């Protein structure tokens, strides 16, 4: 099979079983966090710890390359790159938490997802999460929900968009001819 080009979606790429299990783990964690935040208005520290363990184990056990949190191509950026991404995201997410943009659980959860994805995908994850948050906030306000929107919904949407390989550069930069 030919390698994917800029216009190939992740769903068109065949993934080996370890990568599929990695994707399933990330999806299960993201959906659990979103559901928990929707029902309880918090993301439990145990789930954050489980997500961190998942990120570290996938970074250590899968081959180097693109991580399943980013696409269906096999591999990971590696343990050190995952840790660097987590530190980078923690700095940004903690600053936004201090500004009141989101809760501490959201900041920790984004840190876990950055550890899965690697440093190259921290900015796309943040941008896709912010775009998803804006869209969901409009829907939330139309539904006239009295409580603030649980932001793990936007984080989940941003992560799913990242996993579908719909990163922001694909929307803004045309593929080379």
Q: Quick check: is 67 in a domain?
A: no
Q: So what's the pLDDT on residue 33? A: 94
Q: Quick check: is 66 in a domain?
A: no
User: Which pLDDT tens digit goes with each residue over 11-35?
Assistant: 334 445 556 777 788 889 999 999 9
- Is the confidence at residue 2, as pLDDT, over 50? no
- Rounded to two decimals, the pTM is 0.73
Distance CA 38, CA 66 (A): 30
User: What is the number of domains present in the chain?
Assistant: 1
Place of tokens 């993201």: 30
Tell me the backbone φ, ψ of residue 64, rounded to 5 degrees. -65, 145
Distance CA 38, CA 55 (A): 23
Contact 122, 114 (CB under 8 A): yes
Cβ-count burial 84-108 (b if 16+ within 10 Å, e if not): bbbebbbebbeebbeeeebbebbbb
What integer best gives the mean pLDDT of the chain?
77
Determine the structural domain holding residue 33 and report its residue range.
11-61+72-172
User: Which pLDDT tens digit goes with each residue over 36-72?
Assistant: 999 999 999 999 999 999 888 887 776 665 554 444 4
């Amino acid at each position: 099979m030919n390698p994917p080009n800029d216009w190939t979606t992740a769903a068109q790429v065949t993934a080996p079983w370890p990568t599929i299990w990695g994707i399933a783990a990330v999806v299960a964690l993201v959906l659990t966090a979103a559901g928990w935040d929707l029902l309880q208005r918090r993301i439990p520290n145990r789930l954050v710890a489980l997500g961190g363990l998942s990120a570290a184990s996938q970074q250590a056990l899968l081959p180097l390359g693109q991580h399943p949190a980013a696409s269906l191509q096999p591999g990971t950026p590696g343990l050190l790159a995952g840790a660097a991404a987590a530190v980078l995201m923690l700095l940004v997410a903690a600053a936004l938490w201090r500004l009141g943009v989101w809760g501490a659980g959201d900041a920790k959860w984004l840190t876990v997802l950055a550890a899965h994805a690697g440093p190259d995908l921290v900015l796309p994850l943040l941008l896709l999460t912010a775009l998803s948050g804006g869209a969901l906030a409009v829907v939330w306000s139309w539904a006239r929900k009295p409580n603030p929107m649980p932001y793990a919904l936007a984080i989940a949407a941003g992560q799913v968009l990242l996993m579908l390989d719909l990163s922001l550069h694909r929307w803004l930069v045309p593929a080379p001819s």
